[in-house]
């Protein structure tokens, strides 16, 4: 089963995603970028990450910069979720290496379809 890391400071978002994706993925949830990074640094492996853009401690932009600069995590696909539909945010995240950018509120089935598409492209899908 593929492993999915959800990083979002809004428990409701994590719960919705977990509810819709738990049949296909082993899900770990963290409430900010620092927690997510720490979890990865403990040696946990993951196939894809969904991260919120606006989080306390370490936001989505900083999380992307750190993971994409790392030899260990650079190839892990990342989908950014944001409450803002700012074109600048979207462009910045995609330029930093995000594989997709979705605006909240989102359709969980669309999130699942996008995850599947990304995993197919990155050969992590089986």
| 126 within some domain | no
User: Do residues 2 and 24 lie in contact, with contact meaning Cβ atoms separated by under 8 Å?
Assistant: yes
| 100 within some domain | yes
Give percent helix, percent strand, percent coil of the chain, each to the nearest 5.
Answer: 45, 20, 35
Listed residue (47, 72, 49) closest to 126, CA to CA:
47
pTM more than 0.85 = yes
| 41 within some domain | yes
H/E segment holding residue 16? helix 11-21
Tens of pLDDT, residues 15-58: 999 999 999 999 999 999 999 999 999 999 999 999 999 999 99
| Domain, as residue range, for 23 | 2-121
Q: pLDDT value at position 124?
A: 53
Domain tally for the chain? 1
Q: pLDDT value at position 88?
A: 95
What does the H/E/C string look like for 36-47?
HHHHHHCCCCCC
Percent share of the chain, pLDDT over 70: 98
Q: What does the mean pLDDT of the chain come to? A: 94
- The stretch 94-110 carries a mean pLDDT of 94
CATH number of the domain that 61 lies in? 3.40.50.2300
| 86 within some domain | yes
| 55 within some domain | yes
């Amino acid at each position: 089963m593929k492993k999915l890391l959800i990083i979002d400071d809004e428990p409701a978002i994590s719960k919705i995603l977990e509810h819709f994706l738990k049949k296909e993925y082993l899900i770990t949830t963290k409430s900010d970028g620092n927690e997510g990074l720490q979890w990865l640094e403990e040696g946990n492996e993951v196939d894809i990450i969904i991260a919120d853009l606006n989080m306390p401690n370490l936001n989505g932009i900083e999380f992307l910069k750190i993971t994409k600069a790392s030899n260990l995590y650079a190839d892990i696909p990342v989908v950014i979720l944001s409450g803002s539909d700012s074109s600048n945010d979207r462009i910045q995240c995609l330029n930093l290496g995000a594989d997709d950018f979705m605006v909240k509120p989102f359709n969980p089935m669309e999130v699942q379809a996008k995850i599947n598409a990304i995993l197919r492209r990155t050969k992590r899908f089986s």
